[in-house]
Amino acid sequence: MHTSRPVTIGFMSLGCAKNLVDSEIIATDLMAAGFRMAPTPERADVVIVNTCAFIRDAKEESIDAVLEACAWKQHGRCRAVLVAGCLPQRYRRKIQSLLPEVDAFMGLDELRQAGVIIRRVLRGERPVALISPLAQAVLEPPENRLLFTGAPYAYVKIAEGCNHTCAFCAIPQIRGRYRSRPIGRIVAEAEDLLGRGIRELNLIAQDTTSYGRDLGARTNLPALLRALGRIGGRFWIRLLYGHPAHVTAALLDAMGAVEQVCRYLDLPIQHSNTDVLRAMGRPSTEDGLRRTFGRIRAALPGVTLRTTCLVGFPGETQRQFRNLLAFLEEIRFDHVAVFTYSKEEKTSAARLSRPVPTAEAERRKQCLMLRQKRIVAEDALSHIGRTDDLLVERYDRKRRVWVARSRGQAPDVDGVVYVRAPVDGLMPGALIRVRYVAAVGYDLRAVINNS
């Protein structure tokens, strides 16, 4: 590289937390190889866009980000743009013709070759494309990996890929078969993170509740939770991205027994109507889901439940949609995300007839979200006057309050708690006791509990 200063790297990491972990791994490797991180992507010599290709909206967002980065080559200091992750993996054969402005492409199994690829590009070799036909690797994060969360929490990816055959989902095509990391390596990563001041470990995978099924009978999610609990100390463990069909008695027992585990389960149901679930390829029924959530609440009093719903699936009728509305009213999830159906090539749902018009799917989404907003507002009143433990994240200078979260609030996707306290009265990473005094939308307000 013909330069007297280190080449700087900027990141645009899109999509889920799993992508964020991949970006952190790439950044750590590049730092070790002599590159430096730029303060912002537009001020970098090389921009890496780590893309999402899950649904149409995600692909459009990824392409917009790539084109924005490429524009910096004409109107900024950017010398090269590298596109990584799910978009080049999914469209391996045609990605170069789709995005001729891009200097290099990197698939999921090649993420740790970023330094080699960048050096090739900066020597004048372009375009460079390293994309394996099938994602099969299991990335092990390096020690002291860079963290992009900017807060005292981190994401710990416990597995790659997915074995489910949901009719609407392209993830197995993109990320390959399910591959678990060994318990010992996950525990070592957790110890490293906790030793650096992290106080919340968010366990993620395409399906965390399938963890260990590919490694033998003794490796499973309950065993992992108990192993993490044996580290000891005050910190939180949170489970994200589970599957309702895989919530076992052993898992609920472990969640209740390990004090660090938050009583929080993120279990996307997608729908409640049995016929729609069958068409989606989901191994659930309405009665089965009802029993599952009943078992969870019986085993873990006070548990927080989060779910995701998909509306506008081909053939979904008004009656079936009303069934979903009624189910949400009955179960009263604490947090709900809603997506409209996206027709994805090479999925079995793409061949289905009776599409729901886009405008109608969007109407159903808004209707469901309004219903959930009312449920949240009603349930928020029960918090007022209660005491709770919070993890402090940061000080909001504009609002002049501290921003924190409870065990029932996952980062980025759920609400937060605003705590009235002096700017020098708390610090990020502190675990504090508060009393709730008000609710505003999806957020809560609290004061320090001195009693």
Q: Are residues 330 and 444 in the same domain?
A: no
DSSP 52-95: --SSHHHHHHHHHHHHHHHHHHHHSS--EEEEEEHHHHHTTTTH
Query: Which of 358, 329, 330, 327 has its CA nearest to residue 342?
Result: 358
Q: Are residues 268 and 320 in the same domain?
A: yes
Instruction: Confirm whether 39 is domain-assigned.
Output: yes
Residue 42 tokens read as 């537009």
Structure tokens at 40: 């912002």
Examine the domain organization and report whether 65 and 82 are in the same domain. Answer: yes
* % of the chain exceeding 70 in pLDDT: 99
Kindly state the greatest CA–CA separation across the chain.
Answer: 67
Asked if 64 and 109 sit in the same domain, the reply is: yes
What percent of the residues of the chain are helix, what percent strand, and what percent coil, each to the nearest 5? 40, 20, 40
The bridge status of strand 304-311 relative to strand 335-340 is parallel
Q: Hey, what are 383's tokens? A: 């918090």
> Each residue of 101-156: pLDDT tens digit?
999 999 999 999 999 999 999 999 989 999 999 999 999 999 899 999 999 999 99
Same domain, yes or no: 203 and 283: yes
Same domain, 204 and 340: yes
Q: Which residues contact 372 (CB under 8 A, 6 or more apart)?
A: 328, 333, 336, 338
With cut-offs at 50, 70 and 90, classify the pLDDT of residue 388: very high
Q: Are residues 393 and 369 both part of a single domain?
A: no
Boundary (domain end) residue, out of 381, 411, 437: 381
Burial (Cβ within 10 Å: 0-12, 13-18, ≥19) of residue 256: middle
Mean pLDDT across the chain: 94
DSSP codes joined into one string, 429-444? T-EEEEEEEEEETTEE
pLDDT of 441 > 80? The answer is: yes
The separation between CA 351 and the C-alpha centre of its own chain, rounded to angstroms, equals: 29
pLDDT band for position 2 (50/70/90)?
very low
Q: Which of 79-88, 353-362, 442-451 has the lowest mean pLDDT?
A: 442-451
Strand ranges in 295-354 using DSSP code E only, listed in sequence order: 304-311, 335-340
- Do residues 266 and 240 lie in contact, with contact meaning Cβ atoms separated by under 8 Å? yes
Q: CB of 198 within 8 A of CB of 158?
A: no
Number of domains present in the structure of the chain: 3
Domain termination residue (choose one: 78, 96, 130): 130
**Residue 349 shares a structural domain with residue 241:** yes
The residue type of 77 is R
> In terms of domains, do 269 and 177 share one?
yes
3-state secondary structure of 128: strand
- Residue 247 covered by a domain: yes
Give the model confidence (pLDDT) of 263-318 as tens digits.
999 999 999 999 999 999 999 999 999 999 999 999 999 999 999 999 999 999 99
Last residue of a domain, one of 365, 381, 397: 381
Q: At what angle do helices 17-32 and 114-122 cross, to 10 degrees?
A: 60
Token pair of 14, please?
């899109």
Q: Which two tokens stand for residue 409?
A: 């609030």
Residues 118 and 203 in one domain: no
Quote the domain boundaries for residue 429.
384-448
- Asked if residue 145 belongs to a domain, the reply is no
Query: Is residue 146 situated within a structural domain?
Result: no
CATH code, 433 = 2.40.50.140
| Mean pLDDT value of segment 369-380 | 92
Which distant-in-sequence residues (6+ apart) come within 8 Å of 29 by Cβ? 112, 114, 115, 142
Stretch 231-242: mean pLDDT: 96
Do 322 and 330 form a contact (C-beta atoms < 8 A)?
A: no
- The distance from CA 329 to its chain's CA centroid, rounded to whole angstroms, is 26
Is this model's pTM higher than 0.85 or not?
yes
**CATH code of 355's domain:** 3.80.30.20
Q: What's the mean pLDDT in 12-22?
A: 93
- Terminal alpha carbon distance of the chain: 62
